[in-house]
Amino acid sequence: MRIDIITVLPELLRSPFEASILKRAIEKGLVEVHFHNLRDYTDTKYRNVDDYQFGGGAGMVLMIEPIDKCITDLKAQRHYDEIIYMTPDGETLNQKMSNQLSMIDNMIILCGHYKGVDQRVRDAFITKEISIGDYVLSGGELGAAVLCDSIIRLIPGVLNDETSALTDTFQDGLLAPPVYTRPAEYKGMNVPDILLSGNFGKIEEWRESKAYERTEKLRPDLLQ
């Protein structure tokens, strides 16, 4: 998979890709992530990428020209399956979307800033608009990092234990069951006996019932 991220703040985005699972995925060659600074696609003296909005109103808007130049440049080099725009008024990200996006080859992610981008960018180039939740961030960069993390960990070979992404919360529409590790007893708090029994059939049954119980209590909406 190849991900091209267009941003005015590449420095805000680098660190999530320089540690842990994302770093390893890049080192293993399972994903390539490229950052493109929008300011490199403008020839104005001050390299400005935004301007006042027509009709008046507070807040600057990212201009179409540098974005057009950057996207056109990338599209001339390869086919992109999705060109995603990170925006609070996009479709809310969920596990199903991450699963689908983890199966594509090439994607561009455009990070919004200020009041957003000129609507003509959205009309002409964008194939999918994604929000990471009903709150407004200062820009799309942190949302893009969340999106990339949720996608990259699903690419086969990225996680060491192949089954571990499949048993994540949300993967089967339920929250994950509780987990425990050593010691089996800590200050009078005990790990449920069933988990120490070695009876894997019963353990699986227990996990399913706990996942259901937890979902019913914390996220009954998922069961509807």
The residue among 159, 171, 161 whose CA lies nearest residue 30 is 159
DSSP helix/strand/coil, 44: coil
Stretch 31-60 residues interacting with ligand ADE (CB under 6 A): none
82-92/106-111 β-pairing: parallel
Residue 57 marked as a ligand binder? no
Cβ proximity to ligand ADE, 117 vs 174, nearer residue: 117
- Residue 69 · residue 128 · CB < 8 Å: no
Q: Is 132 in the site for ligand ADE (CB under 6 A)?
A: yes
What backbone torsions phi and psi does residue 134 show, to the nearest 5 degrees?
-80, 65
Q: Is 177 in the site for ligand ADE (CB under 6 A)?
A: no
Tell me the C-alpha distance between 169 and 50, whole Å.
40
Q: Is 150 in the site for ligand ADE (CB under 6 A)?
A: no
Cβ proximity to ligand ADE, 24 vs 128, nearer residue: 128
The nearest distance, CB 116 to ligand ADE, in angstroms, is 8
Among the listed residues 42, 98, 102, 131, the single contact to ligand ADE using CB under 6 A = 131
**What's the distance, CA 152 to chain centroid?**
8
- Residue 33 · residue 26 · CB < 8 Å: yes
Residue whose CB is nearest to ligand ADE in the complex, by number: 143
68's enclosing H/E stretch is helix 64-75
Q: Is 88 in the site for ligand ADE (CB under 6 A)?
A: yes
- Residue 121 · residue 67 · CB < 8 Å: yes
The nearest distance, CB 53 to ligand ADE, in angstroms, is 17
Scan for tokens 């994604």, then name that residue.
130
Cβ proximity to ligand ADE, 31 vs 132, nearer residue: 132
Q: Is 108 in the site for ligand ADE (CB under 6 A)?
A: no
- Residue 112 · residue 5 · CB < 8 Å: no
Selected range binding ligand ADE among 52-60, 81-89, 177-185, 196-204, rule: CB under 6 A? 81-89
Q: Name the binding residues for S-adenosyl-L-methionine.
A: 112, 132-137
Interface with ligand ADE (CB under 6 A): 86-88, 112, 131-133, 135-137, 140, 143
